[in-house]
């Protein structure tokens, strides 16, 4: 009979696992919203999306696919300490680049200066916090 052993690297949820797991659910919801109804997402996400230009349903679904992958990566990070750092770091890279695009588009005037505040909760803060989490989990046992 095969036996299994529980190790520190694959033990049940810890603090960061719970944080990443719930964050994964938020991204999963966003992904399904984008994939299911791009016009509804475009009009109703409280992030001033129309400010950036007219709706392109194909591109919204493209980005929805990216957010689905982000949700999967965060779920992997939540449940597996072995993969936590690399998964979290990967998502952090995307969120940082996404935030950089918003910075550049705001600086070049594509959107108004009100977007510094508008983009704070959905773009800048998640990138900063996930970078912090990546730093915190970097030295966790794997």
Interacting residue ranges for other proteins, rule: CB under 8 A = 8, 13-27, 29-30, 39, 42-43, 45-51, 53-55, 57, 112, 114, 117-118, 121-123, 125-126, 129-130, 136, 139-141
Residue 77, number of CB atoms within 10 A of its CB: 29
* Nearer CB in complex with other proteins: 39/97: 39
* Nearer CB in complex with other proteins: 1/13: 13
* Nearer CB in complex with other proteins: 52/86: 52
The count of C-alpha atoms lying within 13 angstroms of the C-alpha of 79, restricted to the half-sphere facing its C-beta, is: 6
Least distance from other proteins to the Cβ atom of residue 4, Å: 20
* Nearer CB in complex with other proteins: 2/52: 52
Least distance from other proteins to the Cβ atom of residue 2, Å: 26
Could you tell me if 16 and 84 are in contact, meaning their C-beta atoms sit under 8 angstroms apart?
A: yes
Give me the sign of the Cα torsion angle 115, 129, 98, 35: negative
Of 93, 95, 89, 94, the residue nearest 139 (C-alpha): 89
Least distance from other proteins to the Cβ atom of residue 1, Å: 29
Least distance from other proteins to the Cβ atom of residue 70, Å: 12
What number of residues does the chain have?
142
Least distance from other proteins to the Cβ atom of residue 3, Å: 23
* Nearer CB in complex with other proteins: 80/140: 140
Residue 100, number of CB atoms within 10 A of its CB: 12
Angle, CA 94 vertex, CA 20 and CA 33 arms, to 5°: 70
């Amino acid at each position: 009979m095969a036996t299994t052993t529980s190790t520190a690297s694959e033990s049940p949820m810890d603090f960061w696992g719970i944080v990443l797991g719930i964050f994964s659910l938020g991204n999963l919801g966003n992904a399904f919203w984008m994939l299911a109804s791009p016009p509804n997402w475009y009009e109703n996400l409280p992030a001033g999306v129309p400010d950036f230009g007219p709706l392109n349903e194909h591109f919204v679904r493209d980005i929805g696919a990216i957010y689905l992958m982000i949700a999967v990566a965060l779920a992997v990070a939540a449940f597996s300490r072995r993969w936590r750092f690399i998964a979290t770091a990967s998502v952090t890279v995307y969120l940082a680049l996404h935030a950089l695009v918003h910075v550049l588009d705001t600086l070049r005037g594509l959107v108004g200066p009100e977007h510094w505040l508008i983009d704070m909760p959905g773009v800048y803060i998640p990138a900063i916090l996930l970078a912090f989490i990546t730093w915190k989990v970097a030295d966790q046992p794997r």
